[in-house]
């Protein structure tokens, strides 16, 4: 996937660019971390999001996921699907 191409998709045009950049950081900077590195990274990103008052409503999440799927490899889509299944369980 082109790392920023999804951010220009019309599906996410109505979402604040700061939110999209936040996700960009989360997804692409965290993708090659080990399990041991992931927890501190996620805690740092969560704190940053909280301090910047970044949150996503369900419509934004659906639009982002749909856009990401269009630009993802089958392996990336499988990961997205796993994350969305976990979200539904909550």
- 51 in any annotated domain: yes
71: containing domain: 57-90
Residue 21: inside a domain, yes or no?
Answer: yes
| Structural domains counted in the chain | 2
* CA atoms of 27 and 21, how far apart (whole Å): 10
Could you tell me if residue 1 is inside a domain? no
**Cβ atoms 80, 65 nearer than 8 A:** yes
Please give the pLDDT value at position 33: 82
10 found inside a domain:
no
Do both 46 and 77 map to the same domain? Answer: no
The average confidence (pLDDT) of the chain is 86
**What pTM value is reported for the model?**
0.75
Reported as a single tens digit per residue, the pLDDT across 33-43 is 887 888 888 88
Structure tokens at 22: 């936040």
DSSP 3: T
Name the band, by pLDDT with cuts 50, 70 and 90, for residue 3.
low
């Amino acid at each position: 996937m082109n790392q920023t191409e999804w951010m220009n998709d019309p599906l996410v045009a109505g979402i604040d660019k700061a939110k999209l950049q936040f996700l960009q950081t989360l997804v692409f900077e965290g993708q090659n971390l080990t399990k041991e590195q992931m927890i501190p990274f996620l805690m740092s990103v969560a704190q940053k999001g909280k301090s910047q008052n970044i949150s996503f409503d369900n419509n934004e999440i659906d639009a982002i996921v749909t856009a990401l799927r269009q630009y993802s490899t089958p392996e990336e889509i499988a990961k997205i699907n796993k994350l969305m299944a976990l979200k539904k369980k909550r």
